[in-house]
Chains A and B, each alone.
Chain A
Amino acid sequence: MRLLEGIEKSFDGRSVLRGVTLDLVPHGVTCLLGASGCGKSTILRIAAGLERADAGHVLTDPALSAIVFQDPRLLPWLTVEENLRLALPAFCPDAPDRIKSVLDMVQLSPRLLRSMPRELSGGMAQRVGVARALLRTPDILLMDEPFAALDAITRSKLQDMLLSVTGDRPCLFVTHDIHEAFRLARCICVMDRGVITEAFPSEDFSEPDRRAAVRRLILRHLNLKELDP
């Protein structure tokens, strides 16, 4: 499914995105892979309606998407439950059931609902951030390097969790971690200096030999040398 078409964006006269057209796989994760500053987060922000494109079209209504930020972004003065309720209408009779259901999905105990965000670990807080996005029952899930600040073990657990919750909906996942992209993506879009240079469907990297070849190709697209062949 097409998410963006011909998107252009400049900041202070510096071109950040140059005619970006982006297609997502309809079920599962599409990873946008690129080095820091290549414009991948700007794409996500435009898709979420947080930034306006100079030219081009966003082909889905941003109100129907939900975004998970790099930090959990939980309001420190609200309990976990109150933070989650922000994603629901003000008057929502089935709120308790819906909250319980997403907590199951992100593998969090309902006992945490009364906790304050500062009482949670980084991994738990990010799970709450994902749960809040899922509560909006979005057509598209947008994720901006959500696990980048977590330790390797927690990151791995959250990647498993993400795979279990994104099976039936499109998800655009921004990352600069090639291993993460291989693990999560059904399609990897490689981005360099404001342009998507190549897209690799999962069939291209499902086997170890082909994965190594794709990895070399990606690194070449990003003008990087192989460090650990």
Chain B
Amino acid sequence: MRFFHALIIPLALLAIWQAASLSGTVSPYLLPAPEQVLRSGITLVQSGVLGRHVAASLSRIAVGFSLSIALGFLCAGVLFRWPLLDKLLSGPFSFLRMTPPLALTPLLILWLGIEDATQIAIILLASFFPIYLNTRTGLGCLDSSFRELAASLHLSRTRRVLCFLIPAAIPSILTGLRLSFGYSWRALIAAELIAAGSGLGYMIMDAEQMQRADEVIVGILVIGVLGWLLDALFTRLASALLARRFPEVKEL
């Protein structure tokens, strides 16, 4: 039911778009009709162009986001364990967090070229901080009464971490993962617009240079729908796997 509710406004917008095209109030050069966009989309799919660009973007996201998760968890764990290191790194981390990844693009192109390494570095910069910060905050979330329980049970450090600290951080970690996926998806597309030879962002840029507004719209729709689907997949998966133990996950 929730899925159908989410479709109501997009379908209404589609109807308005169709009506505007049929009435001839908008130039088809600026805003092609929905059926023109659909035809372009089908052509792009049949020719394999769209699939190639989608695969390029998704593979970069997979690598960049995985690296981000690994690095975010590692840093959160290490800095939680050694607060002095946390203090020492707070300045550099704040600087990096406040610097938009795209501002670093020229430098990254200079260092890494316009191949995948630059895009992955941008994904890493965009998605690291939400994961790191939420995990770091989550690790400090354990209720003092449970700390006391762990002490009274004389548990090993490993069991304290696995049974108390990490589970207490799960809701916060999931929020961080969801936020950072959105950030990394948007940053990737933006990076592909500037410096890439493939990917959905590159496809849009290429279409714009060929003055193909219909293909630009196909690209935009694919980016939005893919992001939406991946986000929905993440929340469904998290809910299916974790909702029994963490009821708050349902509200993600």
The interface size of chain A toward B, counting residues with CB under 8 Å, comes to 20
From A50, A63, A76, A86, contact of B159 by CB (8 A): A86
Residue on A nearest B166 in the bound complex, by CB: A77
Some 28 contacts from A to B, beta carbons below 8 A apart, are A50-B148, A50-B151, A50-B152, A63-B154, A66-B152, A69-B145, A69-B148, A73-B146, A73-B149, A75-B146, A75-B149, A75-B163, A75-B164, A75-B167, A76-B245, A77-B167, A77-B170, A77-B245, A77-B246, A78-B163, A78-B245, A82-B163, A86-B155, A86-B159, A86-B163, A87-B153, A116-B244, A136-B153
Give the docked Cα–Cα distance between A69 and B152 (Å): 10
- The B153-184 residues at the A interface (CB cut-off 8 A) are 153-156, 158-159, 163-164, 167-168, 170
Q: Are A48 and B152 in contact (CB under 8 A)?
A: yes
* Most A-side CB within 10 Å, residue of B146, B152, B156, B163: B152
CB of A67 within 8 Å of the partner chain? yes
List the A side residues contacting B152 at CB < 8 Å.
48-50, 66-67
Give residues of chain A (102-151) contacting chain B, Cβ–Cβ below 8 Å: 116, 118, 136
Instruction: Give Cα A75–Cα B168 distance, bound, in whole angstroms.
Output: 9
Chain A positions within 8 Å of B, measured between CB atoms, are 48-50, 63, 66-67, 69, 71, 73, 75-78, 82, 86-87, 90, 116, 118, 136
**Chain B residues, CB < 8 A from A87:** 153
Query: What CA separation (Å) do A13 and B171 show in the bound complex?
Result: 40
Q: Are A90 and B145 in contact (CB under 8 A)?
A: no
Closest chain B CB from A58 CB (angstroms): 14
Name the B residues within 8 Å of A116 (CB-CB). Answer: 244-245
Contacts of B151 in A (CB 8 A): 49-50
Closest A-B pairs by Cβ, 5 of them = A77-B245, A77-B167, A67-B152, A73-B149, A63-B154
Q: A49-B151, A73-B145, A86-B155 are in contact. List 9 more A-B contacts (CB 8 A).
A: A50-B151, A69-B145, A71-B145, A73-B146, A73-B149, A77-B168, A77-B245, A90-B156, A118-B247
When C-beta atoms are compared, the residue in chain A nearest to B246 turns out to be A77
* C-alpha spacing A67/B53, complex, angstroms: 61
Point out the residues of chain B lying under 8 angstroms from A48, CB to CB. 152
Collect the chain A residues with CB atoms within 8 Å of residue B164's CB: 75
In the complex, chain B residues whose CB is within 8 Å of the CB of A49: 151-152
> Taking the nearest CB of chain B, how far is it from the CB of A19, in angstroms?
25
A9 to B178, CA, bound (A): 48
- Distance of A131 from chain B, by nearest CB (Å): 13
Q: Separation in Å of the A106 CB from the closest CB of chain B?
A: 17
Considering the complex, which residues of chain B in the window 82-122 have a beta carbon less than 8 Å from any beta carbon of chain A?
none
Q: How far is the CA of A49 from the CA of B153 in the complex (A)?
A: 11
Which B201-251 residues sit within 8 Å CB-CB of chain A? 244-247
Smallest Cβ-Cβ distance to A73: which chain B residue: B149
The complex places the Cα of A73 from the Cα of B147 at a distance, in Å, of 11
